[in-house]
Amino acid sequence: MSMEKVKTGIDGLDVMLNGGIPKGHAFTVMGAFGTGKTTFSLQYIWEGLQQGESGIFITLEEDKNAMIETGLSYGWDFRKYIEDEQLAVEKLTPADAEATIQKIKSDLPKFIKNFDAERIAIDSISLLNMLAETPREKRDQLFALSKMIKDTGATALLTAEVKDDNPESSRDGLIEYTADGVILLRYNETKTGEVQLSIQVKKMRRINHSREIKPFVITDHGIDVQVDGTVF
């Protein structure tokens, strides 16, 4: 049985994934601060736009203008796609927890459903989940959000922050189990003070993928995975 794949826009990663993310998957990109999760999200959405696909970018970290500026710094001009309504950017405001939770419970599902996006990126699911008060609320919110996104049929990327003391586990320790795939971004430090970023596909349901850890760099054109390189 042949399976439809969605390209991430990061060539080396698509090789590791045997062609891309299975269409309809909700996958997570996990990593500590500074490992390039926001860049990954933007690159993923940009790739879709180039393929003619529509996208929704939901951001809690930067506002719309900052997101556009960040894109421009990589040579990706999101403005025309926003004008053409091929791309929607939704800013959630963590400083107003109640309003944000209300929004993701009512307006956002309707909006996402109506927009009929092929790609969705949420940056970040951890910050969103931090707004829920109790473990139960966090859990229920995550399950509800996952279900809502899966029901749209879009291929969705959710960035997640990792635990301080365990860079292979998400803050809530839940998304990696419920997600269809987990791509892990890591910081590696050598004893001489050099630092290398690395990427690994820890999990991707329904496809055979590489499990190797590969180095990557963030250039003026975004993330570039060196599929032939090794990590220290």
Applying CB under 8 A, which residues contact its own copies? Answer: 1, 3, 33-34, 38, 61-62, 66, 69-70, 72-73, 93-95, 97, 124, 126-127, 130, 133, 136, 139-140, 143-144, 146-147, 161, 163-166, 168-169, 173-174, 176-178, 182, 187, 189, 191-195, 197-198, 200, 202-208, 211-215, 218-220, 230-232
Provide the minimum distance between the beta carbon of 123 and its own copies in the complex, in angstroms, as a whole number. Answer: 11
Residue 176 in tokens: 């990696």
Residue 217 in tokens: 């760099």
Residue 202 in tokens: 């820890």
Note whether 60 and 125 are within 8 A (CB). Answer: no
Parallel/antiparallel/unpaired status of strands 5-6 and 21-22: antiparallel
Helix residue spans in the chain (DSSP H): 11-16, 37-50, 64-73, 79-83, 97-105, 107-115, 125-129, 135-152, 175-178
Q: How far apart are alpha carbons 115 and 105 in whole angstroms?
A: 16
- Pick between residue 27 and residue 44 the one whose CB is nearest to its own copies: 27
Provide the minimum distance between the beta carbon of 182 and its own copies in the complex, in angstroms, as a whole number. Answer: 6
Provide the minimum distance between the beta carbon of 42 and its own copies in the complex, in angstroms, as a whole number. Answer: 11
Distances in Å between the Cα of 71 and the Cα atoms of 44, 172, 180, 187, 221 are 12, 29, 27, 23, 10
